[in-house]
Amino acid sequence: MNPVVEQFENAIAEFYGAPYAVAVDCCTHGVELCVRYKALHWLTVPCRTYLSIPMLAEKLDIGLTFVEEEWKDYYEIYTSWDDESGQRRPTNPSGVIDAAVFWKRDGYIPGKFMCLSFQFQKHLSLGRGGMILTDDKDAALTLKKMSYDGRIPNVPWREQNVDTMGYHYYMTPETAQLGLDKLDEAINTKPREWTVTDWPDLREMEIFK
């Protein structure tokens, strides 16, 4: 792995207080890798979120349910739901968190996969990029391989007997360097406060009907 990418991973892990960080090319791909790693068969997500997350259900050929959820900063993807009260409520947390708009020192939640975004509208604005935070060393190593086409970084792929299904989702050194260059400013600047109403109700979009 490029040393600049590793340096950026370590810096973000330190800021959030996470043991491990895996750099990816965008938050959505980070969520996708976690969903694949955990072999989830259903996504239960808020009806107000960015549309690329529920679109993963179609891409991965798994189930999708929207629920009413007032969330702030981040939300956890659930794997099922119930409507005993007449209103759909998420059940069975997956451990995968969409933290695309979450920026907080020591904000890592133990036992979770937290997926960050560095898209141009986010607090650490790099144009594109993301990160997966985890405290599971084995998972971090596997997710890293998955993001690098299934191969081990720093070893020529022709010399490897690749045993992991991979995807072309790694972060470039150029993006990582930009992240390092802008990190101090982001740390010392108050982030924007996002509310659930910043996103439309996706149930009203034709693609999700």
At 182-197, the pLDDT tens digits run: 999 999 999 999 989 8
Q: What is the pTM of this model?
A: 0.94
Q: CA-to-CA distance for 36 and 14, rounded, in angstroms?
A: 26
Q: CA-to-CA distance for 146 and 138, rounded, in angstroms?
A: 12
pLDDT of residue 85: 63
Q: CA-to-CA distance for 76 and 97, rounded, in angstroms?
A: 4
Sign of the torsion angle spanned by Cα atoms 136, 140, 75, 45: negative
Could you tell me the fold of the domain covering 3-208?
Aspartate Aminotransferase; domain 2 (3.40.640)
pLDDT over 90 (residue 209): no
Residues linked to residue 124 through DSSP beta bridges, in sequence order? none
Average pLDDT over residues 28-41: 98
At 35-63, the pLDDT tens digits run: 999 999 999 999 999 999 999 999 999 99
86 is written with which tokens? 């007449």
Domain ranges of the chain: 3-208
Contact between 176 and 128 under an 8 Å Cβ cutoff? The reply is no
